[in-house]
Chain A
Amino acid sequence: MKLLYKYFLCFCLCLTMITYSAKAEDGSAYDASHDVQLSQEKAVQIVTACDGRKKVIVEGCNEGDVMPEQKARKVAELLMQLMEFCEEEITAKLPKTEMFIQLSINGMPYVTVRDAEEIPLILVHGGKSHTEREKKVWAAEMDRMINEGYALFHNPSLGKNGISCDMCHPDASNTHPETYPKYQTQMNKAVLLRDMINWCIENPMEGEKLAEDDSKMKAVEAYILSARAGKKLDPGKH
């Protein structure tokens, strides 16, 4: 099915190129003034895909020139690849040397990639800016984790003697997550924040320690890290 689609795209592309060549032969000007300017500066030929949203600026070729077959194939492949990736407007620059490609998505600045295989790297998020809905979902997911940690931190359920973390650490103060890993002299070993969380659970709170990958441990760490993010460091007081 995918192969069929590729053939279809290729057909569209060839059709566009033929149409474009015909236009060039007629001597009619290309409608984008931007591209006209470019073509005036140096020899370039612009090839547009059938979706009208993907363009390749081929450097070293004048408008109306018939491209060498190898180059024409490369341009066609590139346009096809771009169309497969996303629906966004992409302009690609193919320099004469063909050592690299430059891509611009939705009018954003050009990004250089070495070859078409790297295209997905710059098309993270499909080349789209995040939608409000996406942002809300992500923020809600993060808040859910932090809030779970907040609830555990402010509740004696992690221990067994009625003591909770916040009783000594209001607003997660004196937790200093930024100082880990460190050698904890009282424990005679280098430890991470989670080791100290477990120490507090087992000792002042007289509870049972959490597994390091326990979702509760992750949540408590998430709360502490988020609560202390951006706080002024006070070296010597940790």
Chain B
Amino acid sequence: MPDATDILNALVLMSNFVFVPALAYGSQLALGALGVTLVFGILRFANFAHGDLMAFGTTMVILMTWGLQAQGITAGPVPTALIALVPAILVTAIAAILIDRSVFGFYRKRRAAPVVLVIASVGVMFMLSAIVRFIMGTDDRRFSDGERFIIRAREFRDMTGLNEGLAIQTTQALTVIVAIVTVTALFIFLRRSRTGKAMRAYSDNEDLALLSGINPDRVVLITWIIAAALATIAGALYGLDKSFKPFTYFQLLLPIFAAAILGGIGQPIGAVVGGYIVAFSEVMMTYAYKRFVTYLVPETWAPEGLLQFLGTDYKFAVSFIILVVVLLIRPTGIFRGAVIK
């Protein structure tokens, strides 16, 4: 039998390499999926440009961060990007509204089939990704400053006397906190405010909502503002946690869609739950359990292989498998979202 220290070591190991990173990643996905699901619920199309909208928002955050740093303004222990979020959201929201006015609005007025809007979003995706690359280039960029860690692995080891260390980065903690605040605020807005109720009504039944005197232009406008805000926050948090590279944001599209569909398209709560499920599955499937198992089993049973289900390069496969399983078994998702025909 493993003794108590071994079990503790194993738990700390799991927290350090699975739980903490997955929680942060899940929060980022949840925010991204919320944006996709809102657009899907209210504007009724899968927005392929959402990944690049996130990249655009992050670009704005980075520019503002540089501006603030040049002025000598920093946020102390937390990244300056946190202050930069506010003006960046503003700019991104304006950009999103401009895109809607010049591209999507045209097809919406004509009641074009949803797939036409999807193709239009591909065009927007091309242009946004070009603009992001115009401004930022294609390289990796890190824009995190302030204190890097809340707890360092060594400090934790010294503190507890365990073999395994637990490191929590500031950005990881920040991601989770910001995500909780944002999601709570959004839910209160959707549940309690008049506009939020109008949005939900519009999402449930467009014609009925119009008959009740809800102004569709206003609903669409607010939706884009919220989607842009969510995209900027999600993108900035992802960039702080890992790094900013335009192409990775495009690749986030798949796990984000998987999360939104898993939770039930058009269901905000589903997007959040879906985000965490996708993140945890991805991290857990690609983690090598060798050391974890070694702590828990007698020495002679220690495994030889890495005990890894999938190589880390196949993390897309995880989102994809989730996507396919959901679509086959329960296409409405966990929370019975809309299946828009």
A binds B: no
B interface list, Cβ under 8 A from A: none
A interface list, Cβ under 8 A from B: none
